Amino acid sequence: MEVDHVKRNVESVLDAVSKVIVGKREVLELMLASALASGHVLIEDVPGLAKTMMAKSMAAAMRLKFSRIQFTPDLLPADITGTYVYDQRTGEFKLRRGPIFANLILADEINRAPPKTQSALLEAMQEMQVTIEGETHRLERPFLVIATQNPIEFEGTYPLPAAQVDRFLVRLRIGYPTEDEEVEILRRRMERMTDDFHMDPVIGKRDFIEMQEAVERVYVDESVLRYMAQIARKTRELAEIELGASPRGSLALFKLSRALAAMRGRDYVTPDDVKAVAVPALAHRIILRRELWYTRITPESVVERVLEQVEVPKFE
């Protein structure tokens, strides 16, 4: 598939999802860019902002198998991966597959489950496989995880360690709608006459996989590669930062900027593509010094300052 086809398919998917989700086009674009880059998304925001609806509508638009896992303190790893159960009729153990065997998984309130259960999902994210009773099972492509966590409520939660947050390609915040958008949400709900929604797929799973393969053919010039590396390295040098972005951060810039270029109909990456994805790709990989936790300095603002300080390569 050529990049112009990728652009057309992306616009079709975004237009279809926008019939369900009011506004938030930029968030949807970043979610789709992460999916095209075979990356996982962490959404950190308050409840009630249509995170579940976003994931379900995106899966429906691309004919992907959708699965939702509600993380709770008593959730076990087997509740995610599945387990072998004894079949009395045949006298054999058969695999009962868990919700992890899907194309797009919504891991709702991932910080509600204990670390052992979180790790079952994170292993699948990293290795594209699960191990059940010593037997390894490959997961079907595409495999995408959209995890959510509430940044306000901490009682009864198990915050993800920094090393595990680093596994997510991007961290996004949705934000509240504007007044006009909120009125439109109410209007659409009145017209539907139900909380449910229906969406016809606009592309198929095979099309989406071909789009991912097209992203892998997007060219990145040496000067732009060096620009990505310099941005990541600069996050390790600033005085405000306890821990900067690892090489996984520069790889995130690489993957996301290629996906964004393809979505814009180009088979090459520009510095503007890198700038557009830098904050969602790097901010969650940065740890500020403890004395700055209660100031107005945020990881996002630090990444923005890094972009101002690193010289942009001349690109023709």
| Distance of alpha carbon 281 from alpha carbon 24, whole angstroms | 18
Percent of the chain scoring above 90 in pLDDT: 33
Minimal CA–CA distance to 286: which of 307, 308, 301?
A: 301
Q: What is the pLDDT of residue 315?
A: 61
**b/e code 126-163 from CB counts within 10 Å (16+ = b):** eeeebebeeeebebeebbbbbbbbeeeeeeebbebeee
Q: How far apart are CA 224 and CA 246, in angstroms?
A: 18
- C-alpha 303/C-alpha 131 separation (Å) is 37
pLDDT band at 74 (very low <50, low <70, confident <90, very high): confident
Q: What's the pLDDT at 215?
A: 92
pLDDT at 126: 83
What pLDDT score was predicted for residue 229?
94
Query: At 291, is the pLDDT very low, low, confident or very high (cuts 50, 70, 90)?
Result: low
pTM of the model: 0.88
pLDDT of the residue at 292: 65
The rounded Cα 300 to chain-centroid distance in angstroms is 17
What pLDDT does residue 29 have?
A: 92
From CA 297, how far away is CA 160, in angstroms rounded?
21
d(CA 58, CA 16): 9
How much is the mean pLDDT over the chain?
86
* DSSP per-residue codes, the chain: --HHHHHHHHHHHHHHHHTTS-S-HHHHHHHHHHHHTT--EEEE--SSSSHHHHHHHHHHHTT--EEEEE--TT--HHHHHEEEEEETTTTEEEEEE-TTSSSEEEEETGGGS-HHHHHHHHHHHHHSEEEETTEEEEPPSS-EEEEEE-SS--TT--PPPHHHHTTSSEEE---PPPHHHHHHHHHHHHHHTSS------SS-HHHHHHHHHHHTT-B--HHHHHHHHHHHHHTTT-TTEEE---HHHHHHHHHHHHHHHHHTT-SB--HHHHHHHHHHHHGGG-EE-GGGTTSS--HHHHHHHHHHHSPPPP--
72 pLDDT above the threshold of 80: yes
- 163-169: average pLDDT: 83
* Residues found in the chain: 316
Instruction: Provide mean pLDDT across the span 110-129.
Output: 83
Q: Given a cut of 90, is residue 49 above it in pLDDT?
A: no
Please indicate whether residue 213 or residue 123 has the higher confidence score (pLDDT): 213
pLDDT score at 153: 65
pLDDT digits (tens, 9 = 90+) for 233-254: 998 888 778 888 888 999 999 9
pLDDT of residue 78 exceeding 90, the answer is no
